[in-house]
Structure 1
Amino acid sequence: MAHSEPATSVAKRAFDVVTASMALLFLAPLFVGIVIAIKATSPGPVFFRQHRYGYRNRLFKIYKFRSMRTELSDVGGTRQAVQGDPRVTALGRVLRATSLDELPQLINVIKGDMSLVGPRPHVPGMLAADMLYEDLVPYYFQRHIARPGITGLAQVSGCRGSTADAAAAIARIGYDLEYIEKWSLWVDVKVIARTVQREFLSGSGF
């Protein structure tokens, strides 16, 4: 059977919608609790919205729980958060450490902006090793032939966080392209399982 691309697979889209919908229903009490906690601990909106690259370089608005102080947040997104970042609220540190700030992206999945698994969506003008990502990696935009994901092969392979190191930034794109080339529903299931173990249970985010 011919290998289909992730973005054109009806099976992948159906898996995304069903799984994301079930996850939202199951996590609804946690979702509401986080909303209340954000409103109670810092002024500003509950959700953080930002334009990111999507399928075929189209921009979409990503949703996250706000984890930074509103007056200090970087709307453009080119300045990445670092360990001990003073812009991050006390609650935001917990949300980031457990990746719970990413939960609203389940809405992006249902809308069709994103997939559960795929290359992580970047902001336009994303920097890597103090230069534009696409200048560092000439084949950078090839990653956008798939819908961006809440998680991806790069993230569960240790390429998460800062892109300041050139080698790590290049490796991340390599993992993205490897995922697109080798994609299957079974690969998605394995990446999701590894994400739950690494990000939610062991708390490796920041």
Structure 2
Amino acid sequence: MYGILKRIIDILLSITALLIVSPVFIISILILACTGEHEIWYLQRRVGYKNNIFKMWKFTTMVKGSSKMGTCSLTLRNDPRVLPFGRLLRKTKINELPQIFNVFTGSMSMIGPRPQMEVDFYRYPEYVQQVIYNSKPGITGIGSIIFRDEEKYLSAPGVDPVKFYEEDIAPYKGTLEIWYLNNASTWLDIKLIFLTAWVILFSDSDLPHKWLKGLPPKPEWMNVSMESFLAQKCLLDISNEQEFDKLL
């Protein structure tokens, strides 16, 4: 019953959203057509329902071939691959609005696990890969809300973005998405829609963890400054190396 109701809500919300944001669509299309590389739409391969590949719609925000440059699928703060107008689109999340078409056609939902590029999908632990897309991927969801500013962590001084994503971000993000799958309901979806708007306006708010009962606790590196976390991690690595040397 929940699945049928969710699909009906998705159709109604996608039609309503298209009508409401149509002025933003028109303005964005005109600006993109006249600036940057004059590309408007970006259709990207993503992993979706039951791990099938689909094309996800976005507004163009980066230079052509960006997925093969620099940190590839990961975007950093002040990433040189991002076009000037693209920075505004990404900051306001307007670049995600074309995914309303995906919701209307049924390849995505308003709320669900964020669809990943294949390279990032395989960075999830295997047990997460097996179940995460038993629900349709969403425009927003608990992973998107908690990691509304993922670039902040990946861009911290001394961080290897690829290694940090694989070892720290992906496992926790996967845990969050599995929590959603285990607790999915219409009421939770309504909460997540509200929280999406809330964290866009108040990016440092801790309301999601205060409001959502049973949410997996934040890892240490989200509670302290990245500098402190990296220093502690470095000391732990040194200690482990010394213990290993004693065994030799």
Q: Is the structural similarity TM-score above 0.5?
A: yes
1:94 paired with 2:88, answer yes
Report if the CA contact (8 A) 2:107-2:136 is conserved.
Answer: yes
- Report the CA distance between 1:160 and its aligned residue: 5.3
Matched residues in 1 for 2:108 and 2:6: separation?
11
Question: What is the letter of the counterpart of residue 125 of structure 1?
Answer: V
Report if the CA contact (8 A) 2:73-2:119 is conserved.
Answer: no
- 1:133-160 C-alpha deviation (Å, 9 max, x unpaired): 14xx121221010000001112223465
Question: What is the letter of the counterpart of residue 177 of structure 1?
Answer: I
Report if the CA contact (8 A) 1:133-1:140 is conserved.
Answer: no
Give the TM-score taking structure 2 as reference length.
0.71
| Higher RCO (C-alpha 8 Å, min separation 6) | 1
Give the TM-score taking structure 1 as reference length.
0.85
Residue 145 (structure 1) aligned to one of 115, 134, 142: 134
Matched residues in 1 for 2:118 and 2:177: separation?
17
Change (3 A) 1:86 1:169: same
**CA RMSD across the alignment:** 2.2
Aligned residues: 190
Gaps of 5+ in 1: none
Change (3 A) 1:75 1:28: farther
Match in the other structure for 1:112: 106
Match in the other structure for 2:181: 180
Comparing 107-116 with 118-127, greater Cα deviation is found at 118-127
Gaps of 5+ in 2: 155-161, 205-248
SS across alignment from 2:107: coil
Matched residues in 2 for 1:109 and 1:23: separation?
11
- Report the CA distance between 1:45 and its aligned residue: 2.1
SS across alignment from 2:30: helix
SS across alignment from 1:198: helix
Greater share of helix residues, 1 or 2? 2
SS across alignment from 1:150: strand
Report if the CA contact (8 A) 2:148-2:203 is conserved.
Answer: no
Report if the CA contact (8 A) 2:45-2:53 is conserved.
Answer: yes
SS across alignment from 1:119: coil
Report if the CA contact (8 A) 2:10-2:109 is conserved.
Answer: yes
- 1:82-132 C-alpha deviation (Å, 9 max, x unpaired): 1010010110000001111000000000010000010000111227xxxx4
Matched residues in 2 for 1:117 and 1:19: separation?
11
Matched residues in 2 for 1:107 and 1:75: separation?
26
